[in-house]
Chains A and B, each alone.
Chain A
Amino acid sequence: MNWIRERANLLAAVAVGSALIVVIPAVAEIYVLFQLTLFLVFAILALSLAWVWGFGGILCFGQSVFFGLGGYTYAIAVINLGESTVPLVLGILLPAGLAGILGYFLFWQRISDVYLAVITLAVSLIFYYLTGASAGSDYRIGTALLGGYNGIPSVPPINVPGFPERVVVYGDLYVLTAIMLAAVYGGLRGLLATDFGRVVVAIRENEERAQLLGYDVRITKLAVFAIGGAVAGLSGVLFAAWGSYVSPNVFSMTFTAQIIVWVLVGGLGTLSGAVIGCVLVQAAMTWLGETKVADTNLVLGAAFVVLVLFARRGLIPGTRSLLAGLRSRVRSAL
């Protein structure tokens, strides 16, 4: 009994994970699966920010940069190469590299939270303007036209490594995405359990103290940021492959803000919260967009204001403390 209680979180994660990977594809219709795939792709992106911000303590307003760069890298490389394995790897490594360079710029001179947020936001807007201004036949990389605000259409799907004709689409892409999501979640959880993970959290809690204890804050933050960049890049690759399309909108202010909101809705400082928050918000937006009950922005905006005023800490921590409160009340009643 105790064994189960101690590992309740782990067991729950495994149960949800296997349900996502095995059960849903078996019962859901293809259209629903297609929608769900996008939610899971975004959930990976939400995880990357939950990691960088919630655990690394880095308030990054430009997580979409790494997402978009991953998508663009994949699209350009796969159009040129025709086979998706190398593009997929590039789509993860390039954003990680950019995060590394940016991180060097940001963490080696102690820049405060707000400045870091603004600089990362500015970088994402630079990408937005530059990709937006790349219309016309002059702007091409190899055979891939960048296409300005119209973006890059007909991006080839992911294929089984070595077999360009065996593509991963629809149901298969769903399974692949779900496995990736589970792998990222598990990977980050595992990372947090290592010494490195403890140092990361220690720095978030008290940067000065961690430094005085002899840990190199800068290199640790750089590593956290680069890992976050890689995860966001992976999400971007899957996004480009999912819609076979990528456009400057991935760098836009609206999209950047959306990622932050996913994480905040779920609750900062949790990984599962980011996934749940992302799926809930996206599902609500999709539903509102399809049914046209009311303007999506209007409803969503009002919902956030109310949420902040009455459930400050996000869903997961909020529910947790609610449950804890109930439990102690029940216990004292007995």
Chain B
Amino acid sequence: MDHALVVGLHLLHAMASLALVCIGLAVIFGMLRVINFAHGEFLMVGGYAFVLAAGAGLNLWVAMLVVAPAVVGALGFLVERFIIRHLRGDIIATILATWGLSLFLIGLAATVLGYHQQGVAPPFGTIQIGSYSIGNYTFFVIAVAVLTIVALFAWLRWSRAGLLVRGAMQNPELAAALGADTRRLRSSTFVLGSALSGLAGAVLAPLAGVLPEIGATYVVKAFITVISGGATALTGTTLAAALFGFTSQAAAFLSRPVVGEVALLIVAIVLLRLLPTGITGRYFRKAL
């Protein structure tokens, strides 16, 4: 019984952290169609912003929930303003530029902060479930993931800004003709995606640590998940993250962690073979 509970919690946690890793990319790639190869580095910058701010004596929660998203949001603003906007949707140019940006950010972090691991111990301590002990921080990660997804969903579904964003993504010409400033909408959506990536990087930092090169561990998973999610970015990414997080954690339990990583990739490949347009390409098409 206790064992089942602990296993269930770990599965939930895997799904939640994968969803967190992907949520910023779901906005930037899923909605704006910008292939941001520097997504992993956005998470890395978020992690560093949190660790450094907390290390400088700032309140832990302010550092995590305010500073990190703000810093990466600002970074996203600059990136959109000075790089992405000038590429005008050219896919190849975007790949090359964001790959360069990713290298640049890795190099910058390494030059300024060095190549050693930094971190903050997970707060909250642990809880005892039968003979197992589990970090309370696990619950926090799950809660943040759920709240972020719900908030984003509600914002897109019910707010006027969300409506404008959805309209501008679906049909930019029509939205512009109706008087929406699509350029500003694209810019602010990019900033929103960046801020979400910063939040994710900060929330995951106490568990994963921060390194200049940590982005590489996130970026491929994130792209595979968002693409498998399909056309409706938010619902699709949430579903795909749940499916992949579950599969990889279950496989890791049954054998070893590396098998979990491989299982995730294999499930993604098979899924895309069966549903070439992603999960929401066939199901939940009316979702967001």
Identify which of B100, B256, B258, B268 contacts A302 (C-beta below 8 A): B100
Identify which of A111, A114, A115, A297 contacts B110 (C-beta below 8 A): A297
Q: Which of A121-129, A215-223, A226-234 forms contacts with chain B? A: A121-129
A298-314 at interface with B (beta carbon < 8 Å): 298-305, 307-309, 312
Identify which of B227, B261, B272 contacts A129 (C-beta below 8 A): B261
Contact A261:B220 (CB < 8 A) given known A109-B276, A126-B265, A126-B266: no
Give the shortest distance, in Å, between B264 (CB) and chain A (any CB). 9
Report the bound CA distance from A294 to B265 in whole Å.
36
The reply to whether A296 and B90 form a contact with Cβ atoms under 8 Å apart is no
Q: Which of B47-55, B56-64, B91-99, B164-172 forms contacts with chain A? A: B91-99
- Interface size bracket, A side: 35 or more
Report the bound CA distance from A325 to B110 in whole Å.
42
Q: Does A46 contact B (CB under 8 A)?
A: no
Q: Does B180 contact A (CB under 8 A)?
A: no
The reply to whether B272 and A295 form a contact with Cβ atoms under 8 Å apart is no
Chain B 159-198 near chain A by CB (<8 Å), digits 1 or 0: 0000000000000000000000000000000000000000
Identify which of B96, B107, B216 contacts A264 (C-beta below 8 A): B96
The reply to whether A115 and B276 form a contact with Cβ atoms under 8 Å apart is yes
Report the bound CA distance from A297 to B273 in whole Å.
36
Contacts of B104 in A (CB 8 A): 297-298, 301-302, 305
Q: Does B87 contact A (CB under 8 A)?
A: yes
Number of B residues whose C-beta is below 8 Å from A? 40
Q: Does A79 contact B (CB under 8 A)?
A: no
Contacts of A252 in B (CB 8 A): 216
Contacts of B99 in A (CB 8 A): 257, 260-261, 304
Report the bound CA distance from A133 to B258 in whole Å.
7
Contacts of B279 in A (CB 8 A): none
Q: Does B269 contact A (CB under 8 A)?
A: yes
Give the shortest distance, in Å, between B275 (CB) and chain A (any CB). 10
The reply to whether B268 and A122 form a contact with Cβ atoms under 8 Å apart is yes
Contacts of B101 in A (CB 8 A): 301, 305
The reply to whether A301 and B103 form a contact with Cβ atoms under 8 Å apart is yes
The reply to whether B107 and A308 form a contact with Cβ atoms under 8 Å apart is no
Give the shortest distance, in Å, between A142 (CB) and chain B (any CB). 23
Give the shortest distance, in Å, between A297 (CB) and chain B (any CB). 3
A-B contact pairs, 6 of them (CB 8 A): A109-B276, A129-B265, A130-B258, A298-B104, A299-B107, A305-B104
Complex: chain B residue closest to A302, CB-CB: B104
Identify which of B93, B256, B268, B272 contacts A308 (C-beta below 8 A): B93
Contact A122:B107 (CB < 8 A) given known A304-B100, A309-B86: no
Q: Does B233 contact A (CB under 8 A)?
A: no
The reply to whether B227 and A254 form a contact with Cβ atoms under 8 Å apart is no
The reply to whether A253 and B262 form a contact with Cβ atoms under 8 Å apart is no
Give the shortest distance, in Å, between A99 (CB) and chain B (any CB). 15
Give the shortest distance, in Å, between A49 (CB) and chain B (any CB). 13
Complex: chain B residue closest to A265, CB-CB: B96
Contacts of B28 in A (CB 8 A): none
Contacts of B258 in A (CB 8 A): 129-130, 132-133
Report the bound CA distance from A111 to B281 in whole Å.
13
Contacts of B227 in A (CB 8 A): 114-115, 118
The reply to whether B216 and A253 form a contact with Cβ atoms under 8 Å apart is yes
Give the shortest distance, in Å, between A156 (CB) and chain B (any CB). 29
The reply to whether B111 and A268 form a contact with Cβ atoms under 8 Å apart is no
Give the shortest distance, in Å, between A111 (CB) and chain B (any CB). 5
Report the bound CA distance from A299 to B110 in whole Å.
12
Q: Does B108 contact A (CB under 8 A)?
A: yes
Q: Does A287 contact B (CB under 8 A)?
A: no
Contact A111:B272 (CB < 8 A) given known A296-B107, A298-B104, A302-B100: yes
Identify which of B90, B95, B108 contacts A298 (C-beta below 8 A): B108
The reply to whether A301 and B93 form a contact with Cβ atoms under 8 Å apart is no
The reply to whether A118 and B272 form a contact with Cβ atoms under 8 Å apart is yes
Give the shortest distance, in Å, between A272 (CB) and chain B (any CB). 19
Contacts of A253 in B (CB 8 A): 216, 219-220
Chain A 129-156 near chain B by CB (<8 Å), digits 1 or 0: 1101100000000000000000000000
Contacts of B273 in A (CB 8 A): 105, 109, 111
